[in-house]
Structure 1
Amino acid sequence: MKAKDVLGRKGEELAARYLESVGMLVVERNWRCSDGEIDIVALDGDALVIAEVKTRKNLAYGHPFEAVGKAKLARLHRLGAAWCRDRELRMPLRRVDVISVLDDGVSEPLLEHLRGVG
């Protein structure tokens, strides 16, 4: 497995544990369809949350949040709708959250969570 994939998996694991620690219920991870992948699907009360996790070693290529632009947000909304159709669910309260993980492998990873991004 490539180093970036190992880092990404670690970031997703940290993000899932964080979401659970703040009271969310993680219901699925790494769901895929022909249009793409959802990193984490969670419930925050009665809100369905589609969580995108961006993990980096440092800020050399910009902050991880910068990697989630309008096109990515639109795709995440489409993927959330596809996930609901796949599960035959009608969940009107759907939001997209983005979780940034900075992990240089030495210091404690730094996690930031933006709720309802777009």
Structure 2
Amino acid sequence: MASGPHAAPATVLLADDNGVLRESFAYWLTQRTDWTVREAADGREAVASLDAAVDVVVLDRDMPKLTGDEVVDRLHETTFSGAVVVLSASRPDGGLNEDCVDEYLLKPVKCESLAAVLSTHLR
């Protein structure tokens, strides 16, 4: 991510099929940070939304069309080079390629906690 007084705001992609949770995180982050937030309701939308502008992707593991695990597996097929944060109600279980994941957070996650984790990857 570029730095300096005229740097573009960071872009976070939130991918979660729970619309209330996703929209709550997106609203909170856009109100309290200068980040741009994109939303995806399933794994296919997440992959389609990934481009060079995305700095961090936040993925739910249990999504329709493509799971978070499958999205992580497909990241090598994209130009995405940012950080990956997984949000899940399930503990890591070996089904996820954890070598490609920068952070793993267990739900429920507070907005402040998510923002703090994202901040560490947006520097």
TM-score after normalising by structure 1: 0.34
TM-score after normalising by structure 2: 0.34
Compare CA radii of gyration and give the structure with the larger one. 1
